[in-house]
Amino acid sequence: IVLRGCELRNTKSAIGVAVYTGKETKAMLNNSEIIYLSIFLVTLCTVVCISHGVWLIKHKDELDLIQFYRKKDYSGSEVENYEYYGWGMEIFFVFLMSVIVFQVMIPISLYISMELVRVGQAYFMIQDDRMFDEATNSRFQCRALNINEDLGQIKYVFSDKTGTLTENKMEFQCASIGGVDYDNGKASSEDGGIEYSSAQVDGVTLRPKMSVKVDIELLNLSKTKDTDEGKHIRDFFLALATCNTIVPLTIESSDPAVKLIEYQGESPDEQALVYAAASYGFMLIERTSGHIVVDIQGERQRFNVLGMHEFDSDRKRMSVILGFPDNTVKLYVKGADTSMFNVLNNSSNTNNNIIKPTQAHLHSYSSKGLRTLVIAARELTLSEFQHWQSSYESANNALMGRSNLLRKIAVNIENNLGLLGASGIEDKLQEGVPEAIESLRMAGIKVWVLTGDKQETAVSIGYSSKLLTNEMTRIVINNNSKDSCKRSLEDALGVCKKVKNGVSGAVNSQLALIIDGSSLVYVLDTELEEQLFELASKCDVVLCCRVAPLQKAGIVALIKKRTDDMTLAIGDGANDVSMIQRADVGIGISGQEGRQAVMASDFAMGQFRFLVPLLLVHGHWNYQRMSYMILYNFYRNAVFVLILFWYVLFTGFTLTTAITDWSSMLYSIIYTSLPTIVVGILDKDLSRATLLKHPQLYGAGQRNESYNGKLFWVTIFDTLWQSIAVFFVPLVAYWASNVDGSSLGDLWTIAVVVLVNLHLAMDLFRWYWITHAAIWGSIIATFVCVMVIDALPFLPGYCKIFVQYYRPNDIQIAREAEKFEDSRVSRQVQIEMTRFRDPLTQLV
Amino acid sequence: MEMDGRSSSSAVIEADSVSLQQSRRSKFIHQFTQQSLPACKPVLSPPFVISVFFVVGLIFIPIGIVALHASRSVVEIVYRYDGECVPEPYRSNKLAYIKDDSISKNCSKSLKIPKHMKAPIYIYYQLDNYYQNHRRYVKSRNDKQLLHGLKYHDASSCHPEDANHGHPIVPCGLIAWSLFNDTYSFSRGVVDLKVNRKNIAWKSDREHKFGKQVYPVNFQNGTLIGGANLDPNIPLSDQEDLIVWMRTSALPTFRKLYGRIEEDLDADDVISVNLFNNYNTYSFSGSKKLVLSTSTWLGGHNDFLGIAYISIGTSLIFIAFVFLLLHVNNPRPYGDTSNLSWNWKPISS
For residue B335, the model assigns a pLDDT of: 64
Radius of gyration of chain B (CA): 33
**Strand extents, DSSP E, A310-361:** 317-323, 329-335
Judge whether B346 lies within some domain.
no
What domain range includes position B135?
A: 81-294
Q: ∠ CA B98-B102-B107 to the nearest 5 degrees?
A: 60
> What's the pLDDT band for A800 if we cut at 50, 70, 90?
very low
Q: What is the pLDDT of residues A757-799, one digit of tens each?
A: 888 888 888 788 888 888 888 888 888 888 777 766 544 333 3
Cα A752 to Cα A364, A728, A744, A756: the distances in Å are 70, 12, 12, 6
C-beta of residue A670 within 8 angstroms of C-beta of residue A778:
yes
Do B122 and B260 contact (CB within 8 A), yes or no? yes
Identify any residues that bridge with B4 across adjacent strands, giving them in sequence order: none
Q: Of all residues in chain A, what percent carry a pLDDT higher than 70?
A: 81
Length of chain A: 844
Q: So what's the pLDDT on residue B259?
A: 92
DSSP-derived letter for residue A3 is: P
What does each C-alpha distance from A586 to A58, A559, A571, B61 come to in angstroms?
62, 15, 8, 59
pTM of the model: 0.78
Check if A127 contacts B (Cβ < 8 Å).
yes
Give the separation between CA A618 and CA A691, rounded to whole angstroms. Answer: 10
Q: What is the pLDDT of residue B184?
A: 92
On whether residue B192 sits in a domain, the answer given is yes
Tens of pLDDT, residues B253-306: 999 999 999 888 888 888 999 999 888 888 888 889 999 998 887 777 888 888
* Cβ-Cβ contacts under 8 Å for B55 (sequence gap 6 or more): none
**Which residues of chain A does B288 touch, with a Cβ-Cβ cutoff of 8 Å?**
none
| SS3 assignment for A444-507 | CCEEEEECCCCHHHHHHHHHHCCCCCCCCEEEEECCCCHHHHHHHHHHHHHHHHHHHCCCCCCC
Nearby residues of B212 by Cβ (< 8 Å), 6 or more positions away: B235, B237
Give residue A838's pLDDT band: very low, low, confident or very high (50, 70, 90).
very low
Q: Which of A808, A758, A803, A794 is nearest to A778 (CA)?
A: A758
Residue A386's H or E segment, with its range, is helix A382-397
* Interval A534-548 mean pLDDT: 82
Interchain contact, B340 vs A694, CB within 8 Å: yes
Omega prior to B120 cis, within 30 of 0: yes
β-strands A541-545, B76-80 pairing: unpaired
Q: What is the pLDDT of residue B327?
A: 84
Tell me whether residue B145 is in a domain.
Answer: yes
A408 has pLDDT over 80: yes
Contacts of B29 in chain A (CB under 8 A): none
Residues whose CB falls within 8 Å of the CB of residue A72, separated by 6 or more in sequence, listed in order: A64, A65, A79, A80, A81, A82, B160, B224
- Rounded distance, CA A544 to CA A569, Å? 14
Residues of chain A with Cβ-Cβ distance to B247 below 8 Å are: 740, 798
Residue A801: pLDDT above 50? no
CB-CB under 8 Å, A127 with B33:
yes
How many folded domains does chain B comprise? 3
Inter-chain residue contact B309 with A737, CB threshold 8 Å: no
Tell me which residue of A191, A354, A204, A207 sits closest to A275, measured CA to CA: A207
Q: Nearest by CB to B160, from A74, A745, A802: name it.
A: A74
* pLDDT for position A75: 60
* Mean pLDDT, rounded, for A221-246: 79
Residue B341, domain member (yes or no) = no
Distance (Å, whole) CA A231 – CA A331? 16
Longest distance between any two alpha carbons in chain B, whole Å: 115
Query: Are residues B319 and B245 part of one domain?
Result: no
Q: In this structure, are strands A511-516 and A80-81 parallel, antiparallel, or unpaired?
A: unpaired
Phi, psi (deg, nearest 5) at residue A539: -85, 150
- Identify any residues that bridge with A283 across adjacent strands, giving them in sequence order: A295
Asked if residue B302 and residue B184 are part of one domain, the reply reads no
Kindly report the CA angle at A524 between A519 and A530, in degrees rounded to 5?
Answer: 105
- Return the DSSP state at B159: T
User: H or E segment at A376?
Assistant: strand A370-380
Q: Are B280 and A73 within 8 A, CB to CB?
A: no
In whole angstroms, what is the distance from residue B84 CA to residue B86 CA?
Answer: 5
Residues in chain A closer than 8 A to B52 (CB atoms) = 828
Residue numbers belonging to the annotated binding site of A: 160-162, 270, 311, 334, 371, 451-453, 546, 552, 572, 575-576
Same domain? For B253 and B283 the reply is yes
Q: Which residues of A touch B159 (CB under 8 A)?
A: 73, 75, 82-83
Mutation site for A-interface testing, chosen from B48, B60, B74, B135 by largest number of A Cβ within 10 Å: B135
A296 CB-near residues (< 8 Å, 6+ apart) = A234, A238, A281, A282, A283
State whether B70 and B32 are in the same domain.
Answer: no
Interface probe with B: pick from A737, A807, A822, A841, most Cβ of B within 10 Å: A737
CA dihedral A223, A226, A227, A233 (to 10 degrees): 40
Are B56 and B104 in the same domain? no
Give residues with Cβ within 8 angstroms of A720, minimum separation 6.
A642
CA proximity to B251, closest of B88, B126, B82, B68: B126
pLDDT band per the 50, 70, 90 thresholds, residue A823 = very low
In a domain, B242, yes or no: yes
> What is chain A's Cα-based Rg?
38
Q: Which CATH number fits domain A155-165+445-500+508-605: 1.10.10.10, 3.40.50.1000, 3.30.70.100, 3.20.20.300?
A: 3.40.50.1000
What chain B residue is nearest to A816 in terms of C-alpha separation? B305
**Which of A478-504 are b and which e, b meaning 16 or more Cβ less than 10 Å from the residue's Cβ?**
bbeeeeebbebbeebbebbeebeeeee
**Contact B257/A688, CB-based, under 8 Å?**
no
Are A74 and B224 in contact (CB < 8 Å)? yes
Q: Are residues B277 and B300 in the same domain?
A: no
Instruction: Render pLDDT for A622-665 as a digit per residue (tens, 0 to 9).
Output: 888 888 888 888 888 888 889 989 998 888 888 888 888 788 88
Distinct helix (H) and strand (E) counts, chain B = 10, 11
Contact flag B339-A842 (C-beta cutoff 8 Å): yes
Taken as a whole, chain B contains a residue count of 349
The per-residue pLDDT for range A420-445, each reduced to its tens digit, is: 888 888 777 778 888 888 888 888 88
In this structure, what DSSP letter does residue B233 have? T
pLDDT for B186 equals 92
Distance CA A692, CA A694 (A): 6
What angle separates helix A741-763 from helix A769-791, to the nearest 10 degrees? Answer: 170
- Positions of A marked active-site: 160
Q: Considering chain B, what is the average pLDDT of its residues?
A: 82
Spatial neighbors of A634 by CB under 8 A, at least 6 apart, are A33, A37, A107, A110, A712, A715, A716, A719
Q: Is residue B124 part of a domain?
A: yes
Listed in sequence order, the residues at least 6 apart from A161 whose beta carbon sits closer than 8 Å to its beta carbon are A449, A450, A451, A453, A458, A461
| Cross-strand partners of B201 | none
* C-alpha distance from residue B115 to each of A686, B77, B118, B194, B293 (Å): 63, 10, 9, 20, 11
Residues of B with CB below 8 A from A724's CB?
none
Residue of chain B whose alpha carbon sits nearest to that of A746 = B250
Minimal CA–CA distance to A653: which of A94, A69, A20? A94
| Residue A431 CA to its chain's centroid (Å) | 18
Contact A425, A173 (CB under 8 A): yes
Q: Which of B29, B122, B131, B342 to mutate to test the interface with A (most CBs of A within 10 A)?
A: B131
**pLDDT above 60 (res A829):** no
- Is residue B106 domain-shared with residue B58, that is, in the same domain? no
User: Backbone phi, then psi, for A328, in 5-degree steps?
Assistant: -80, 155
Task: List the one residue out of B223, B232, B238, B248 whose CA is nearest residue B170.
Answer: B232
Say yes or no: B197 and B255 in one domain: yes
The verdict on B255 and B238 lying in the same domain is yes
Position B10 pLDDT exceeds 50: no
**Strand, coil or helix: A420:** strand
- The arrangement of secondary structure in A170-184+197-428, i.e. its CATH architecture, is 3-Layer(aba) Sandwich (3.40)
User: Do B315 and B259 share a structural domain?
Assistant: no
Torsions phi, psi of A174, nearest 5?
-155, 165
**Mean pLDDT confidence for A47-71:** 80
Percentage of residues of chain A with pLDDT beyond 90: 0
Secondary structure of residue A367 in the 3-state scheme:
helix
Q: Across the interface, do A739 and B341 touch by the CB < 8 Å criterion?
A: no
Q: Which of B159, B298, B341 sits opposite A811 (nearest CB)?
A: B298
Antiparallel, parallel or unpaired: β A446-450 and A541-545: parallel
Pairing verdict, β B106-112 and B121-127: unpaired
Condensed to tens digits (0 to 9), the pLDDT of residues A451-468 reads 877 777 778 778 778 788
Lowest average pLDDT, out of A105-109, A298-302, B234-238, goes to A105-109
The answer on pLDDT for A185 being more than 60 is: no
Extents of the domains making up chain A? 30-106, 109-140+607-818, 155-165+445-500+508-605, 170-184+197-428
Q: Which of A651, A807, A818 sits opposite B134 (nearest CB)?
A: A651
Bigger pLDDT: A92 vs A766: A92
* Predicted interface score ipTM higher than 0.90: no
pLDDT-derived band at A8, boundaries 50, 70, 90: low
**Cis peptide bond N-terminal to B160, omega within 30:** yes
